[in-house]
Amino acid sequence: MKIICSICLAEIARNEAVSLAVCGHVFDLTCILHCLQVNKRCPLCQQDVFGTTQEQQLIRMYFSTDNSDEKTINQLKFKIKNMSTEMQQLHNQTKELKALTKKHTEVKQELERSRELITLLHEKYSNLKVDFSMAKLDLSKKSG
Ligand SMILES: [Zn+2]
Ligand SMILES: [Zn+2]
């Protein structure tokens, strides 16, 4: 839990927290001293502290804090960092996979073209075989 000074809106340093005796509102020491010099009222609820000495106005506060929030945040930060690394890896893998898929398509197309060429060559070969047989037949007729 962060304790915020309602005057400067910053987090109150651990040894700087004071509470106004009349109302209990908490500020940091520097801010409230500054405020009370200008106006002897609580900056939050306007309760009058006039007529009391400074010792009677302010109560020093010493909070016992634990840093469990900070711990959780650090754990989450660590998790997020790990997750982004994983995401990056996945992203790279996806990119590689895409490149491979593209290559696969290209190879498949080339294979298809080669098959067509082979079929064409087969046809040509068959035609040539027929031509050759005819020519042989012709030759044997002429010589016979
Ligand atoms: Zn302050
Ligand atoms: Zn107050």
44 C-alpha to center of ligand 1: Å? Answer: 12
* pLDDT tens-digit map of 46-78: 988 877 777 778 888 887 777 777 788 889 999
Q: Count of CB atoms within 10 A of residue 5's CB?
A: 21
* pLDDT tens-digit map of 27-44: 999 999 999 888 889 999
In this prediction, residue 22 carries a pLDDT of 87
Query: How many domains are there within the chain?
Result: 2
Higher per-residue pLDDT: 53 or 4: 4
d(CA 78, CA 63): 28
Is residue 33 within 8 Å of residue 27, measured between CB atoms? no
* Residues 32 and 46 grouped into a single domain: yes
In this prediction, residue 68 carries a pLDDT of 76
Percent of the chain with pLDDT over 70: 97
Give the range among 5-14, 48-57, 79-88, 113-122 with minimum mean pLDDT.
48-57
* Mean per-residue pLDDT over the chain, rounded: 90
* Residues 133 and 97 grouped into a single domain: yes
pTM: 0.45
Structure tokens at 116: 């067509």
61 C-alpha to center of ligand 2: Å? Answer: 15
Of 11, 37, 66, the domain-final residue: 66
Q: Phi/psi at 59 (nearest 5 deg)?
A: -115, 120
Q: Which bound ligand lies closest to the C-alpha atom of 23?
A: 2
Q: Give the domain extent around 88.
A: 69-143
**Residue 103: is its pLDDT beyond 80?**
yes
* Residues 44 and 9 grouped into a single domain: yes
Of 66, 99, 119, the domain-final residue: 66
50 C-alpha to center of ligand 2: Å? Answer: 13
Of 21, 47, 66, the domain-final residue: 66
Q: What is the mean pLDDT of residues 110-136?
A: 95
Residues with CB under 5 A from ligand 2 (ion): 23, 25, 42, 44-45
Q: Which bound ligand lies closest to the C-alpha atom of 45?
A: 2
Angle at the Cα of 7 (from 26 to 54), degrees rounded to 5? 55
